[in-house]
Structure 1
Amino acid sequence: MNAMNAQDPFRRLERIERVARGMDRAFRLPLTRIRLGWDSIIGLIPGVGDTLALAPALWIVHESRQIGAPKPLVAQMLGNIGVDWVIGLLPLVGDIFDVGYKSNSKNAALLRRWLEDRHSRPGTGTAAPPNYRSAEAA
């Protein structure tokens, strides 16, 4: 694998992270430390907002599959999206949840961790399989 091919997944990851930032943390509420993104704003549209916000979230999963993310990781990412979507459908409670849950950022962090584990130099990793769940806290 040449250097250009090794960098391509990380370029795609950077684009995924930019989309995730825009969807989850694009704006800061004045006089607070609360950040929200287009996902929260679009989610305010009753009935269709949360469904519209699925498009960029599913694009992130699609790109992850194109990069080669394993099925268990993709399933976890889809689970994050599902939780965000289902709870986001609830009036008011869902809107508040959207501000804090940030499924796109969680999924981008999961993908970054997997990519870094996959592309680390031989002998620098651990013998234990990576725990993708711990990336959710990021």
Structure 2
Amino acid sequence: MRPDQLGIDLPLGKDVHSIRRRIEAMEVVLERSFVIPGINRPVGLDSIIGLVPVVGDIIAMGMGAYIVWEARNLNLPKWKLLRMASNVAFDTAVGAVPVVGDVFDFMFRSNTRNLRIVKKHLDKHHPETRVIDQ
């Protein structure tokens, strides 16, 4: 199925604005898909699939690596890409530890950190893609 058939409006282009929207959408899915009732803390797939030993952490790492790959398509400097990759690697390594890693996944949001790096770069070098957050 195509994304538009699923009710998802993601641009498929290779332009800066389309890539930014895809990265933002992936961050929402991984970090803020829904809110836990009672504590009003948003969580996403990264925390949920991280509960599955080994396989869940590998899948979460792959999804986080997608954000780094898209950032590479935006021609971010290598040092920023390395910083983003280290965020994903650190999240994966600590997240792989049973119980402690699951709590860590809940608190450390590597994908949100990586989105912040991408937004800061784009706001400086491509201000026309800036979106006012609500």
TM-score, scaled relative to structure 2: 0.81
Q: Which residue of 2 aligns with 1:116?
A: 123
Matched, 1:86 2:93: yes
Matching residue within 65, 75, 79 for 1:68:
75
| Structure 1: gaps spanning 5 or more residues | 1-6, 122-138
Residue by residue over 1:81-103, the C-alpha shift from the partner in whole angstroms, topping out at 9 and shown as x without a partner, is 01100000011111111111111
Residue by residue over 1:3-23, the C-alpha shift from the partner in whole angstroms, topping out at 9 and shown as x without a partner, is xxxx92122111111111110
Displacement after TM superposition at 1:48 (Å):
1.6
Letter matched to residue 36 of structure 1? V
Letter matched to residue 34 of structure 1? R
Q: Which residue of 1 aligns with 2:52?
A: 45
Q: Which residue of 2 aligns with 1:3?
A: none
4+ aligned runs moved over 6 Å, structure 1: none
Q: Which residue of 2 aligns with 1:129?
A: none
Displacement after TM superposition at 1:120 (Å):
4.2
Q: Which residue of 1 aligns with 2:20?
A: 13
Letter matched to residue 28 of structure 1? V
Partners of 1:40 and 1:120 in 2: how far apart?
A: 32
Letter matched to residue 79 of structure 2? P
Residue by residue over 1:62-98, the C-alpha shift from the partner in whole angstroms, topping out at 9 and shown as x without a partner, is 1111111110000000110011000000111111111
Letter matched to residue 83 of structure 1? F
TM-score, scaled relative to structure 1: 0.78
Q: Which residue of 1 aligns with 2:8?
A: none
8 Å CA contact 1:35–1:99 kept in 2: the answer is: no
Give the RMSD, CA atoms, in angstroms: 1.5
Answer with 1 or 2: which has the greater Rg. 1
Number of residues paired by the alignment?
A: 115
Matched, 1:30 2:31: no
